[in-house]
């Protein structure tokens, strides 16, 4: 897909992906830490 088609859409998607990645990492970390502690 061409990158220069919808620069506005890319901007909207970029922050969403970053936030999701961070949330997933935090959730995974919490779950892993909890399991390890138990």
Cα separation of 37 and 32, whole Å?
A: 9
The answer to whether residue 35 scores a pLDDT higher than 60 is no
Asked whether the predicted pLDDT for residue 27 surpasses 60, the reply is yes
For residue 13, the Cα-to-chain-centroid distance in whole angstroms is 10
H or E segment at 26? helix 7-37
Per-residue pLDDT at 20 exceeds 60: no
Take residue 38 and report the two structure tokens written for it.
């138990």
Question: What's the CA gap between 34 and 9, in Å, rounded?
Answer: 38
């Amino acid at each position: 897909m061409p990158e220069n088609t919808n620069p506005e859409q890319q901007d909207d998607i970029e922050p969403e992906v970053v936030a999701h990645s961070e949330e997933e990492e935090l959730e995974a970390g919490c779950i892993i830490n909890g399991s390890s502690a138990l």
